[in-house]
Structure 1
Amino acid sequence: MLRSAGYISLSRPRSLGSLKATVVFFSSLVLLFFFTYLYARRAQADWARHRTGPLTPISLLNETTGKVDLWGTCSPEEYAQGQWVRRPYWTRPSPLTRTNTSEQIYRDLLHGAHGPEKLTSKEDILKFARMEGCASDGEDIWNQFAVTNEEQWDRFPKALEWEWIPGGRCTGKSGLRDWDLEGFLRDLVEGGGWLLIGGRVPFLRAYASVIDTNPDSITGNHFFSISCLLYPHVVIGKSTSYERDRLQSLYLDPSSPFAGRFQLPEGFNIKTTPLVSFKRVDLLWSVNDLASMHKALHPEFYSPSNSFKLFGDTAVWTVSPEVYLNIFLGPVATANYKTMIVSSAGHWTMDLFHGYHRAHGSDGSTLNDSRLLFPSDFEELEPILGYDGLLIFFREAMEHWANAVQRRLDTHPPSVSSSPTRQRQVLVRAYLAGHDACHNARDPWAEERPPRASWNWREIGRFNKIWEERPRLAFTKMSISLELIGQETYDPMAT
């Protein structure tokens, strides 16, 4: 069974998202990063035990193991049962400091001297965010922090003064761990790094001449957040490639005072072994993979009288799983990864999958959730269009993706990850809907509001439910051969 890593819960406290990459969105990503850290470091699950079970909230794809080490002291549901509390930015020693009002340090900070009350220069945002800088350089930093438009400076520092206080057991001693920069770096070096797979990153372009003016990446912003949280102890690898899907990596800075305190794994090279990497993969499959898969699963779209074409003209950057699994499972010198964190759904839109667009009427989903559970051998008399049909295909594609990834992990040589602490795992992170006018808001919402109609945001919750709640299906039409996935085309009916 494959389950999302709890990030669907963050869509509730995160009341303000942004296609324009506002700082409110950045703050949410800091929370998202913190929660990912906890699950990627400590959660273990027995994949084989649940292969026919429900898609419940927390799970990992592990290399074959008989051990189960589930921990539930802070479930996603409990994390979501909290509230926003305003905390002046100067009361936080670091970006992820959790407030404890019983501590003397908090009272001293609250009633003592404090910092400026308004933004007077772009550089002030670093003080408000309690950061020293970011591994990325150049003007792109200010784009990411959303301070390039002086007319919107009145949002700060208030936009960064809201702390999410989770509920349930998350606030207890056995709940969320306190942020420890050295400890987290130690986890990445000694325990294994992260490979982030997901949507585009528009801002980490220290060596590019063109700035992407249409950013929409959850995973890309996640990577940028990490580059700031770990600064100045990490550096970003220089690249001569300006390709949007190039691999970007953070490395331990040899000049960091922490560097000499870590026990480097055998084969670890401080100059070539990444701590965290990001690769843009919009759909988790290549275009050819999905086209072949769709034709095999949905012949009702391909009648002789129908010139159906699955994809429109929207640009997309995506590759077969074999490509990024080769990166993930590489040698320690260039891939000391323990966890691959993937996210999809954001690019599954009518613009891209234009074949599902309804010529008349709305593309919005109308089917109840049970109708999304059609087995792949269910024969529809007519094609299901709009997001109803696309959600069904998304479920099928992600089921085959999970099977393909699991087979690769099962066949990976055990000598590469013989230590239990280095056992590679795959974490699925649910997507978050955005808001293209959040720069007009000045406070978090007290209650959840319906997503806007932009892009596919109204459907994001249903994409996430496919990972989170639905029973696993038995697909009888196709069995993907992993050896064929990396080719330009493959036969989805191959065994």
Structure 2
Amino acid sequence: MPATARLLKDLKKVVLLVVLILVALYGAKWKRGSPVSSTLTPSEDFSRSCTPQAYAAGQWQRGALFEAFSTSNMTQPHDALVFAGFSGCASPCDFCNLRQLAADNEKQYDRFPRAHLYEWAPGDACTGLKPLDIERFVKTLVEDGGWFLVGDSVSENHFFSLSCLLYGHVIATPDFTESEHWERDYPQHLYLSASSPIISTIDFPKGFDINKTPLVSFKRIDVLFSKQELIEIHRAIQPPGVDMSENTLFGEEAVWTTAADEYLTQFTAPLPGANYATMVVSTGAHWTVGTFGQTIPEGIDGVLNLFEHAMKIWLHKTETHIDMSSRTSRPFWSFGPFAKKVKSRRRAVVRAYPAGHENCHETRAPWTEIHPFSSTHWNWNYLQIFNEIFEKLLVDKIRYPNIHYLGIDRPARLRPDAHITGDCLHIMTGAGVLEGWTQYISHFITNEL
């Protein structure tokens, strides 16, 4: 046998031996669902668990303050803050605050305080969800990494809610009182305030700058790709022979968006400009036949087809950005038996998009079950299909280990009484829906990963 052939044969034996050793050493840990060892016993692991399915399987119930406040009356906008239990909100925009708190229409004051007096009780299988500890949450955002919210104006609702939950610890930018002309997709940030009462207890990462490093950011990106990217994706998925020379894909509805690589690069950027660990993504309401008026095939089927192909590309891009950002911090021994096990510090969570409610302002209490739509409103009756596309794609944890689907839209779908005054899609701050997203996402990234 030639020397080269013997060398290759011996090399194959060595590789096989290394693989067998790694399987023996680490195989049991992979079977438990995580490549990272745990110091908890199985019973302790279970006691801390609350899967997205278990969280969403609950019901709204009267909160502890229901009897004390249920006979109160709302007489001024500030009452909405009191009923919600907030001391204030970090946003310096009075008009924005009133709108987000659903306190900008006196004709709807009778919705309060009842809208704020319900609490979400997760399903029985959720045994590990704890109340959100605000001070601990702030420390985590600094020490372990912040949140980067990507989505449409419902994600902006979530951002505003965070500015109220973290009031007293953060400063919000931009100051919307400085001008009447702000673009809807202008980036918004929450920075750690120098006057936060816990600032002396925080272990700051090297390079962290309270004036430059956001704890939470929101960027409005309605459809996760730029228009040009989606035009190119749409053309690429057409069968041969289809004339696309005059197809512009987009219809007349306005959309605010940007290129995927642009905001993914921002998400994975280093200190001091960024320190994000979690990207919270949600999209759905702008995937309509009004936004995409020239899909092939036509109508909602064409929009759904485009969405599925686009999300496959988006997931690949996102996983690649996260993986590459983690590789830059890996030690020299990144592979083989001497390698330190490296788990990416960053992850993305896809929050299921909740549908709106018909005639929501006529309702004054939560539902106990989701009601079917009596007519077609925008794409609300198709939003669950968009969610299911994401959910099915993210079953593949080999391909997407750092992207997770959170099907936690049911609490919102049971709250027709929790919308802002101007429409029946956007969600008011303080009613528990948005705050529940924060509580659960914080739990998930801390205890379920």
TM-score w.r.t. the length of structure 1 is: 0.64
> Tell me, what secondary structure is at the counterpart of 1:242?
coil
What does the per-residue CA deviation read over 1:88-132, in whole Å, with 9 as the maximum and x for residues that have no partner?
537xxxxxxxxxxxxxxxxxxx6xx76971101111111100001
Structure 1 position 329, deviation (Å): 1.4
User: Which residue in the other structure is 2:420 paired with?
Assistant: none
1:4-41 superposed Cα distances (whole Å, 9 cap, x missing partner): xxxxxxxxxxxxxxxxxxxxxxxxxxxxxxxxxxxxxx
Change (3 A) 1:234 1:292: same
Q: Secondary structure at 2:294's aligned position in 1?
A: helix
Residue 314 of structure 1 corresponds to: 253
| Aligned counterpart in structure 2 of residue 327 of structure 1, from 239, 246, 266 | 266
Task: Please point out which of 132, 139, 143 is paired with 2:95.
Answer: 139
Distance (whole Å) between structure 2 residues aligned to residue 231 and residue 471 of structure 1: 34
1:275 and 2:215 are equivalent in the alignment: yes
2:190 counterpart residue number: 250
Report the AA paired with residue 156 of structure 2.
G
Note if contact 1:89-1:130 (Cα within 8 Å) is conserved in structure 2: no
Distance across 1 between alignment mates of 2:204 and 2:165: 22
| 333-342 or 404-413, larger mean C-alpha shift | 404-413
- Paired with 1:244 and 1:220, the residues of 2 have a C-alpha distance of 10
Measured in 1, the distance between the counterparts of 2:214 and 2:380 equals: 33
CA distance 1:89–1:453, shift in 2 (3 Å): farther
- 1:459 is aligned to 382
- Matched AA of 1:320: A
Counterpart contact for 1:82–1:165, Cα < 8 Å: yes
CA contact 2:323–2:344 (8 Å) conserved in 1: no
Amino acid at match of 2:82: K
Aligned length: 344
* Corresponding residue to 1:404 among 317, 334, 349: 317
The alpha carbon displacement at 1:421 in A equals: 8.1
- Write the deviation string for residues 138-177 of structure 1: whole angstroms up to 9, x where unpaired: 222111111111111111101111111111232x3xx102
Shift of 1:422: 7.1
1:227: how far off? 0.4
Residue 149 of structure 1: aligned partner: 105
Contact 2:91 2:173 in 1 (8 A): no
Q: Which amino acid aligns with 1:147?
A: A
Contact 2:326 2:344 in 1 (8 A): no
Aligned-partner SS, 2:349: strand
Greater Cα shift, 81-90 or 281-290: 81-90
Aligned 8 A contact 1:433 1:460 in 2: yes
The counterpart of 1:259, out of the listed 186, 195, 199, is: 199
Structure 1 pair 472/152, CA: closer, same or farther in 2 (3 Å)?
A: closer
Larger Rg: 2
- RMSD over aligned CA atoms reads 2.9
Higher helix proportion: 2
Deviation at 1:303, TM superposition (A): 2.6
Task: From the superposition, tell whether residues 416 and 281 of structure 1 become closer, same or farther in structure 2 (CA, over 3 Å).
Answer: farther
Q: Which residue among 34, 51, 55 is the counterpart of 1:75?
A: 51
Structure 1 residues 414 and 303: CA distance shift in structure 2, 3 A = closer
Residue pair 2:322, 2:344 contacting (<8 A) in 1 also: no
Which residue of 1 is the match for residue 421 of structure 2? none
Q: Which amino acid aligns with 1:412?
A: S
- Single out whichever of 383-392 and 463-472 deviates more from structure 2: 463-472
Aligned to 1:392: 305
Q: Does 1:426 align with 2:348?
A: yes
Question: 1:87: how far off?
Answer: 2.0
Change (3 A) 1:462 1:413: closer
Q: 1:307: Cα distance to partner?
A: 4.1
Alignment of 1:295 onto 2:271? no
Shift of 1:338: 0.6
CA distance in structure 1 between the aligned counterparts of 2:291 and 2:103, rounded to whole angstroms: 31
Give the Å deviation of 1:471: 8.2
Alignment counterpart, residue 231 of structure 1, candidates 159, 167, 188: 167
In structure 2, the CA distance between the partners of 1:472 and 1:160, relative to structure 1 (3 Å rule), is closer
Would the aligned equivalents of 1:87 and 1:163 in 2 still touch at CA under 8 Å?
Answer: yes
The separation in 1 between residues aligned to 2:69 and 2:384, in whole angstroms, is 40
Q: CA deviation at 1:409?
A: 2.3
Correspondence 1:120 to 2:96 = no
In structure 2, list runs of 5 or more residues that go unmatched.
1-29, 332-340, 397-449
Which residue in 2 is equivalent to 1:449?
Answer: 371
Cα displacement (A) at 1:472: 7.4
Shift of 1:248: 0.8
Closer/same/farther in 2, CA of residues 142 and 116 from structure 1, 3 Å limit: farther
Deviation, structure 1 residue 459: 0.3
C-alpha distance in 2, partners of 1:275/1:293?
34
**Whole-Å separation in 2 of the counterparts to 1:68 and 1:327:** 31
The residue identity in structure 2 corresponding to 1:169 is: A
Shift of 1:81: 2.2
What is residue 116 of structure 2 aligned with on the other side?
160
Paired residues of 1:89 and 1:157 also in contact (CA < 8 A): no
CA contact (8 A) 1:417 1:423 kept: no
- Per-residue displacement from partner, 1:372-418 (whole Å, max 9, x unpaired)? xxxxxxxxxxx532212211211110001111122222223634587
Contact 1:158 1:442 in 2 (8 A): yes
In structure 2, C-alpha distance between the alignment counterparts of 1:114 and 1:437, rounded to whole Å: 26
Q: Structure 1: how far apart are the matches of 2:254 and 2:278?
A: 29
Q: 2:326·2:345 contact (CA, 8 Å) conserved in 1?
A: no
**Secondary structure of 1:168's match?**
coil
Alpha-carbon contact 1:338-1:422 (below 8 Å) kept: no
**One-letter code aligned to 2:303:** L
AA in 1 matched with 2:205: P
SS in 2 for 1:315: coil
Query: Which SS does the other structure have where 2:214 is aligned?
Result: coil
Percent identity of paired positions between Structure 1 and Structure 2? 41
Q: Residue 61 of structure 2: SS of its match in structure 1?
A: strand
TM-score, length-normalised on structure 2? 0.70
Per-residue deviation at 1:289? 0.5
Q: CA deviation at 1:257?
A: 0.8
- Alpha-carbon distance in 2 for matches of 1:420, 1:308: 46
Q: What is the rounded CA distance, in whole Å, between the counterparts of 2:189 and 2:249 in structure 1?
A: 33
TM-superposition CA deviations, 1:46-92 (whole Å, max 9, x none): xxx9xxxxxxxxx9xxxxx95488977212222222222112537xx
